């Protein structure tokens, strides 16, 4: 039952390679910065979760927000994945990639009227509602369209996911969902409302969760409310556990899919309902590397060395936004002695640094480095700040590689302006 999940990036005789394809060769042809993804790593991660839940009715709705490049979505759809879309844009992208309306859960705080009308008109699988007000707006939109929307209410169980504060979502102080103790009455009061059909209950307590305990507590809360609702005469068809499974950015111990399943399945069995999972990072995170070139090096009088890259927070915002750690590796083999480097980007912001005091061999202008574990929340969070252009993306599969998104051009950007 164990899946073999190999690390996609390893040093070979042509330097750092993705499933055997030299990153230097890709950088040479496509230029830098460039995101590279391993198709095999995505397959392994998806099937790892799918197999862990094999003995229980489940559906994996990959969270598009982690990375929604069409080629990756088509790959995941081919594996049997469904989709978690967080905006009207993500629903449309899911359709483009071949997902059908029934495959989609529409999540997210602050859905606009246009987005709700679109989701209802398209008859998406489930709309995860964030508040009583949103339920009422969905009901109005659906009734006006002569339809019935399938909805799940997102509950906020006040559970500390023990992750970075900026990506914790299951605490009372967070804007997400409705308090667990209010949920029952919200369902009860609306169970006969025209335009609504309650099919599920949803929870998502945060992202980059590294221990099973908070997820286990969330599953218990979810099962508990589903059972109460059944007693109230509001029988549900599924429970939605959200996403959140972390990846080992720093090589730290991580919850394996099997441990995740073992932690949440007892609660799920208690309510007996099929489970929806919305993993994002755990599926694509480890597949990606951001390959970048050193454009300058310098040393301060106090000895601090800087390597300035042609990629920065406009390509990968996570370090600047959350202080998050990403491994950084030289792409070409280097014998020279190891010293400490601050690996920084070219943007005029001091937070624009990928790593501080990292042990690296002597770096020189023109050298390539790879920032690892950048498949999730990397390219999707890119920006045009400083009039920089979005990076291309390359998919490595079975020893070959393809550009799955070309580099943006300044003409692409200026096409929007008068
Ligand atoms: N479901 C919902 C309702 C979510 O809000 C999220 C992520 C997911 C599923 C997927 O979570 P995952 O399995 O990827 O942890 N930009 C941040 C992460 C933000 C996550 C937002 N919500 C980062 O770079 O760490």
User: DSSP state, 332?
Assistant: S
d(CA 167, ligand 1 centre) in Å:
7
Mean predicted lDDT score pLDDT of the chain: 95
Number of H helices, E strands in the chain: 12, 21
33 lines ligand 1 (CB under 6 A): no
21 vs 396: CA distance, rounded Å: 7
> What would the mean pLDDT of 100-109 be, rounded to a whole number?
97
| Residue 271 falls in the annotated catalytic set | no
SS3 (DSSP) at 37: strand
Per-residue model confidence (pLDDT) at position 13 = 87
Which has the closest alpha carbon to 19: 369, 404, 332, 401?
A: 401
Q: Cα(163)–Cα(185) distance, rounded to whole angstroms?
A: 30
- In this prediction, residue 167 carries a pLDDT of 75
Say how many Å lie between the CA of residue 281 and the centre of ligand 1: 7
pLDDT digits (tens, 9 = 90+) for 348-379: 999 999 999 999 999 999 999 999 999 999 99
| Cβ 278 under 6 angstroms from ligand 1 | yes
**Contact 163 CB / ligand 1 (< 6 Å):** no
pLDDT at 165: 78
Q: 146 alpha carbon to ligand 1 midpoint, in Å?
A: 33
Ligand 1: atom nearest CA of 154 is 3
Instruction: Please report the atom of ligand 1 found closest to the CA of residue 278.
Output: 9
C-alpha 244/C-alpha 169 separation (Å) is 10
pLDDT of residue 3: 36
Strands 15-18, 393-397: pairing kind = unpaired
Q: Which of 280, 282, 290, 319 to mutate to test the pocket of ligand 1 (most atoms within 8 A of CB)?
A: 280
Report whether 209 contacts 215 (CB < 8 A): yes
Length of the chain: 418
Distance 194 CA to ligand 1 centre (A): 32
276 lines ligand 1 (CB under 6 A): no
Give bridge partners of residue 127 from the DSSP assignment: 106, 151
CB 353 near ligand 1, within 6 Å: no
Lowest-confidence segment of 8-17, 280-289, 333-342 by average pLDDT: 333-342
Q: How confident is the model at residue 6 (pLDDT cuts 50, 70, 90)?
A: low
pLDDT at 140 over 70: yes
Euclidean distance between CA atoms 137 and 117, whole angstroms: 10
Residue minimizing CA distance to atom 22 of ligand 1: 207
Q: Residue 282: CB within 6 Å of ligand 1?
A: yes
Is there an atom of ligand 1 within 6 Å of 279 CB? Answer: yes
| Helices 180-190, 212-231: inter-axial angle, 10-degree rounding | 30
Spatial neighbors of 278 by CB under 8 A, at least 6 apart, are: 61, 62, 63, 84, 105, 107, 204, 240, 241, 242, 243
Label the pairing between strands 368-372 and 328-330: antiparallel
Which residue of the set 337, 348, 415, 416 is catalytic? 348
Write b or e for each residue in 300-317: b if 16 or more Cβ atoms lie within 10 A of its Cβ, otherwise e.
eeeeebbbbbbbbbbbbb
Task: Tell me how far the alpha carbon of residue 24 lies from the centroid of ligand 1, in angstroms.
Answer: 31
Which comes out higher in pLDDT, residue 14 or 365? 365
Cα–Cα separations (whole angstroms), residue 219 to 152, 224, 236, 268, 271: 15, 8, 15, 7, 10
Alpha carbon 241 to chain centroid distance? Answer: 15
**Ligand 1 pocket member 326 (CB < 6 A):** no
Ligand 1 contacts CB of residue 204 (under 6 A) = yes
Atom of ligand 1 nearest to the CA of 282: 13
Phi/psi at 229 (5° precision)? -65, -40
Give the pLDDT confidence of 256-265 residue by residue, as tens digits. Answer: 999 999 999 9
Mutate which of 49, 65, 249, 318 to test ligand 1's pocket (most atoms within 8 Å of Cβ)?
A: 65
C-alpha distances (whole Å) from 20 to each of 15, 193, 398 are: 10, 57, 9
Q: Are 6 and 287 in contact (CB under 8 A)?
A: no
Does residue 208 have its Cβ closer than 6 Å to ligand 1? yes
Strands 288-299 and 368-372: antiparallel
Strand partners, 234: none
Task: Give the CA angle between residues 240, 282, 374 to the nearest 5°.
Answer: 135
Q: Tell me, rounded to whole angstroms, the distance of Cα 255 from its chain centroid.
A: 17
Distance from residue 13's CA to the centre of ligand 1 (Å): 37
**Helix-helix angle 39-52:257-271, to 10 degrees:** 40
Nearest atom, ligand 1, residue 108 CA: 3
CB atoms within 10 A of CB 348: 9
What is the pTM for the complete model shown? 0.97
Residue % of the chain over a pLDDT of 90? 91
- pLDDT 10s digits, 204-229: 999 999 999 999 999 999 999 999 99
Which letter does DSSP use for residue 301 in this model? T
């Amino acid at each position: 039952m164990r899946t073999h999940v190999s690390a996609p990036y390893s040093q070979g005789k042509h330097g750092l390679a993705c499933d055997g394809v030299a990153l230097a060769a890709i950088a040479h042809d496509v230029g830098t910065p460039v995101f590279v993804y391993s198709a095999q790593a995505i397959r392994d991660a998806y099937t790892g979760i799918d197999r862990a839940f094999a003995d229980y009715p489940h559906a994996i709705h990959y969270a598009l927000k982690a990375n929604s490049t069409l080629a990756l979505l088509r790959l995941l759809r081919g594996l049997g994945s469904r989709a978690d879309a967080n905006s009207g844009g993500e629903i449309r992208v899911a359709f483009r990639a071949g997902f059908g309306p029934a495959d989609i859960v529409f999540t997210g705080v602050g859905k606009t009227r246009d987005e709700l009308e679109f989701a209802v008109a398209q008859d998406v699988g489930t709309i995860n509602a964030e508040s009583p007000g949103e339920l009422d707006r969905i009901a109005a939109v659906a009734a006006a369209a002569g339809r019935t929307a399938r909805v799940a209410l997102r509950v906020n169980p006040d559970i500390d996911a023990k992750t970075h504060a900026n990506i914790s979502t299951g605490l009372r102080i967070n804007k997400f969902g409705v308090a667990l103790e209010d949920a029952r009455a919200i369902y009860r009061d609306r169970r006969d409302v025209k335009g609504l059909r309650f099919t599920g209950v949803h929870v998502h307590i945060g992202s980059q969760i590294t221990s099973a305990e908070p997820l286990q507590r969330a599953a218990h809360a979810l099962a508990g409310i589903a059972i109460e609702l059944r007693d109230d005469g509001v029988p549900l068809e599924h429970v939605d556990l959200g996403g959140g499974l972390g990846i080992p950015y720093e090589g730290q111990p991580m919850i394996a899919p099997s441990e995740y399943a073992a932690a949440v399945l007892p609660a799920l069995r208690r309510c007996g309902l099929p489970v929806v999972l919305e993993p994002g990072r755990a599926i694509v995170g480890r597949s990606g590397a951001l390959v970048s070139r050193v454009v300058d090096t310098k040393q301060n009088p106090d000895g601090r060395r800087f390597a300035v890259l042609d990629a920065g927070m406009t390509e990968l915002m996570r370090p600047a936004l959350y202080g998050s750690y990403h491994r950084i590796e030289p792409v070409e083999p280097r014998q020279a002695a190891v010293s400490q480097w601050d690996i920084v980007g070219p943007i005029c912001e001091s937070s624009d640094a990928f790593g501080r005091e990292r042990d690296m061999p002597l770096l020189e202008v023109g050298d390539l480095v790879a920032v690892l574990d950048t498949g999730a929340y990397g390219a999707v969070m890119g920006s045009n700040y400083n009039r920089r252009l979005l990076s291309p993306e390359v998919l490595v599969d079975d020893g070959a590689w393809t550009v799955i998104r070309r580099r943006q051009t300044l003409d692409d950007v200026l096409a929007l302006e008068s």
